[in-house]
Structure 1
Amino acid sequence: MDEVVFEPLKAVHCSRCRAGPLRHHIRDGGRPRCLDCAGLGELVFLPRGDAALTRRARVRSSRHAVVVRYNRRRRRHERQGLLVEAAALAGARASCLADAAARARRRDRDRVRRTAEDVRFTAAFAGEIRRLFPGIPPERALAIAAHASLRGSGRVGRSAAGRALDPDTVAVAVRAAVRHTDTDYDALLVAGVPRFEARARLAARIDAVLDGWRAPVEPAA
């Protein structure tokens, strides 16, 4: 069982050597003893908050003690940290720093990988748009693809069907882009027109744009 060290709420002095006021002490027969008199003077305090550091320091330290403080409102002692050997704490910190560096490198690799995946997916999405709508300007297809396929956006391009380049889903993304970019749909919503009514008003205009893009571009003479 762990040794328990107390963090006092008021000034406390050692009952043996009279040192104090004490930051930490043990209780021996109900009387406070400083850490030196208790044989714990070589230990250093590690505050709570870093679970990995605490776990590693505890494993490395041949002696350790739990530090608690009384919470008057809750009427109970609550853990404040751990007393461990200085060498154990230094070794634990070194291990955590090494792990942090490894995690940072892994995050960087993952970021590069995701960026490359996003570039490839956006290009594929734009290619499917151009296949379905051969008359669409290439730069417009790329802009629609980049918007619809933005990672973490929740947009249609990031749905399972969108990632699979389902033609119907790709067409939905193009229709939405036309609705927002080529019509006054957003202005109608701001003016208080219900969403479905605004879409019904603009359906013919949107269909005209899409029909024009479905027709292949005639090569220049």
Structure 2
Amino acid sequence: MLLVIPDFPKKFALKGLLVKFAAADVERHIRKKHPGCPDFAVAFFVSEIMKKEWTGLKLGRAVGIIMQTTLRHTMTDYDQMLLVGVDRNEALRRVQPKINAMIASWTTTRKSRA
């Protein structure tokens, strides 16, 4: 069963259901929770979330998964570490502070450039 859920109330669990979130809801969530996220990144994250059918997850968790995964593989040395034999958990431990810092920097509004 696949549901497209616009503005699904957070209090309801979606255990076992396949869900596709509405693009407008995804964008609204990112802009509210991560107002400093660059526009190009918002558009990318929305498109990535829209490509998937999510099982039993709320929107915020889906956004978190996509942000973490994208940043890990595109903005860190995670993949290179794996290629040279660094254990997956150790590589993740090494890059996680950088990922956390990038996401944390998006939780505040960007300052205007004047």
Percent identity reads 27
Q: Which amino acid counterpart does residue 91 of structure 2 have in structure 1?
A: A
SS at match of 2:92: helix
Across the aligned residues of Structure 1 and Structure 2, the Cα RMSD in angstroms comes to: 2.3
Q: Which amino acid counterpart does residue 159 of structure 1 have in structure 2?
A: T
Listed as ranges, the gaps of 5+ residues in structure 1 are 1-113, 153-157
Q: Is the Cα–Cα contact under 8 Å of residues 135 and 215 in structure 1 kept in the other structure?
A: yes
- The superposition leaves residues 7-36 of structure 1 with CA deviations (integer Å, 9 ceiling, x where unpaired) of xxxxxxxxxxxxxxxxxxxxxxxxxxxxxx
Q: What is the aligned length?
A: 96
Question: Greater strand share, 1 or 2?
Answer: 1
Q: Pick closer, same or farther for the CA change 1:145–1:189 going to 2, 3 Å.
A: farther
Give the TM-score normalised by the residue count of structure 2: 0.69
- Structure 1 position 180, deviation (Å): 1.1
Q: Residue 25 of structure 2 is aligned with which of 124, 140, 165?
A: 124
Q: Does 1:186 align with 2:82?
A: no
- Structure 1 position 220, deviation (Å): 4.4
SS at match of 2:29: helix
Q: Pick closer, same or farther for the CA change 1:146–1:198 going to 2, 3 Å.
A: same
- The superposition leaves residues 46-69 of structure 1 with CA deviations (integer Å, 9 ceiling, x where unpaired) of xxxxxxxxxxxxxxxxxxxxxxxx
Give the TM-score normalised by the residue count of structure 1: 0.38
Q: Does 1:159 align with 2:22?
A: no
Structure 2 residue aligned with 1:138: 39
Listed as ranges, the gaps of 5+ residues in structure 2 are 5-19
> Equivalents in 2 of 1:151, 1:215: separation in Å?
28
Higher relative contact order (CA 8 A, sep 6+): 2
SS at match of 2:22: helix
Structure 2 residue aligned with 1:213: 106
- The superposition leaves residues 105-134 of structure 1 with CA deviations (integer Å, 9 ceiling, x where unpaired) of xxxxxxxxx9xxx7x723422321222111
> Equivalents in 1 of 2:85, 2:23: separation in Å?
34
- Structure 1 position 173, deviation (Å): 2.0
SS at match of 1:148: helix
> Equivalents in 2 of 1:134, 1:122: separation in Å?
17
> Equivalents in 2 of 1:206, 1:175: separation in Å?
7
